[in-house]
Amino acid sequence: MVETAHHNHQHPPSQVPPPPVVARPLGAARGPAYPPQEQLLQLHYCIHSNPSWVQTAVLGFQHYIVMLGTTVMIATALVPRMGGSPGDKARVIQSLLFMSGVNTLLQTWFGTRLPTVMGPSFAYIISVLAIINDFSDSTFTSEHERFTHTMRAIQGSLIVSSFLNIIIGYSNAWGNLTRFFSPIVIVPLVCVVGLGLFARGFPQLGNCVEIGLPMLILLIIGQQYLQRIHPAAGPLLERFALLVCIGIIWSFAAILTVAGAYNNVRERTKLSCRTDRSLLISSAPWIKIPYPFQWGTPIFRASHVFGMVGAALVSSAESTGTFYAASRLAGATAPPAHVLSRSIGLQGVGQLLEGIFGAAVGTTASVENVGLLGITRVGSRRAVQISTAFMVFFSIFGKFGAFFASIPLPIFAAIYCVLYGIVAAIGISFVQFANNNSLRNIYVLGLSLFLGISIPQYFVMNTDMAGHGPVKTNGGWFNDILNTIFSSPPTVALIVGTLLDNTLEARHSVEERGIPWLIPFQRRKGDIRNDEFYSYPLRISEYIPTRFL
């Protein structure tokens, strides 16, 4: 008999394949990889949220002080060349402030609705200088008559050229142009909006180093380092350190002036450093309300109008870059194409009003005030709207406005060193939505950035005191247009970036360029948040034709 038995044979365990090893990016192997963020998460208040009423009012006053520097710089550069007196300069400043307040309020209500201050633009300087030069050989009974005659010519050119922005804005032509933008175009456009203004930073500060440099150092230390000493004082220093620093350095400049530190220095140093050289307080009227055609009947001349047309185009390009920066720093999405169109159209309406009320130049979105959103981390629309009350108030009550307008310009230059840098850096942040490892993108970015700074620098260096630039043909109006356009860094960066990005392997690199991310924000109904940030207040949109929304 054969013995049988049941033997439990243990089968060898099944071989489970080890989990695949995922190769981590080189950067992630040493630290965390940060994903793209459409909105900045470190803002304390975004476009819809507001601090307390007291803090909002102080922030509004701070916006007024920041935009005041550019206003004074432009009036100081132009009025003496026109033959204007300190009293005329004070009235020009009042007119610029008044129109800035009106246009800012209109833009925050019916334009982009972003917290952007609309301030005087340097883009109009070349065109205005050309007008001044045209009357340099004319005979007038007095310098004041030459001044008023020049202002009337500026009024006429502003009025006629304003229709260009109105047409390209409300016809949606500008919005259709922005549909060709990708993050690769937005990066150099926004960067150069800040970097292109470098001449108004440290070079202006250097005119009075003993005032400008302490202001720059004190602002950085007080606004960034001292806020970390005590948690309670942190938010206040972060938001209002700029005002405190201005007060301290302004007082220091007044002490140096009274002590006689600038009695035996060059005239240029006196103008930059002394607190009593502007003569604005003594010459400004107590009460003066800007009114239509305050300088007289406008003078219309074709050559002046064509030159101003170039400035109107430049201001549109500059404002567009500033709006993109403001959207990031206010916690909003990128502005859609139809919003940019209506904002440029409204900017044209504002330029028309400026011509009627006799402003010396047109307005554009203020770069320095957008930078202020970044350092305070408050992107509140209400704070900017309240700042318009200060602009209008100090434009009417001239003595009070002249008091703040007498702040030495190197103090403003020190502030701009920080604020322009913030805007330039926020432009770099748009590259996160595209492939920044693509050599094709690197080529477009590099060439747009470099030419956006280099070409305007060439035009500025070769422009004389009369506004004559490198383009010199028999057509003066043609010269003014090209010299104005190519003297603007954002405009040159926009032209170069748009052409390269849409012609260099454009169809085969749609995703690399970041187009899929940007398209929903460019369309009216592409993203549900578009209406949240950019719709008209109340129910106004129900009564406006769709093509104008």
pLDDT digits (tens, 9 = 90+) for 15-70: 656 666 556 665 556 777 788 888 888 899 999 899 999 999 999 999 999 999 99
What pLDDT digit, counting tens, does each position of 511-526 carry? 999 999 888 888 777 7
Give the Cβ contact number of residue 78 at 10 Å: 24
Helix-strand-coil split of the chain, %, nearest 5:
65, 0, 30
CA distances from 254 to 70, 211, 270, 341 (A): 21, 10, 12, 46
Q: What is the pLDDT of residue 539?
A: 61
Give ∠ CA 221-223-228 in degrees, rounded to 5.
Answer: 85
Q: What is the pLDDT of residue 274?
A: 87
Collapsed DSSP state (helix, strand, coil) of residue 342: helix
Q: What is the pLDDT of residue 3?
A: 45
Report the interhelical angle of 53-82 vs 367-376 (nearest 10°).
150
Give ∠ CA 179-184-186 in degrees, rounded to 5.
Answer: 65
Q: What is the pLDDT of residue 2?
A: 43
Q: What is the pLDDT of residue 252?
A: 94
Q: What is the pLDDT of residue 10?
A: 52
Q: What is the pLDDT of residue 487?
A: 93
Of 298, 303, 307, residue with least CA distance to 123: 307
Structural contact between residues 162 and 312, judged by C-beta atoms closer than 8 angstroms? yes
Report the interhelical angle of 489-503 vs 302-329 (nearest 10°).
70
Of 323, 91, 62, 59, residue with least CA distance to 186: 323
Q: Work out whether strand 118-120 and strand 363-365 pair parallel, antiparallel, or are unpaired.
A: antiparallel
Report the interhelical angle of 302-329 vs 409-428 (nearest 10°).
70
Structural contact between residues 505 and 334, judged by C-beta atoms closer than 8 angstroms? no
Q: For 332, how many CA atoms within 13 A lie in the half-sphere containing its CB? A: 30
Global pTM value: 0.91
Which parts of the chain register pLDDT below 70? 1-29, 538-549
What pLDDT digit, counting tens, does each position of 83-107 carry? 999 899 999 999 999 999 999 999 9
Structural contact between residues 454 and 194, judged by C-beta atoms closer than 8 angstroms? no
Q: What are phi and psi of 365, to 5 degrees?
A: -65, 130
Q: What is the pLDDT of residue 72?
A: 93
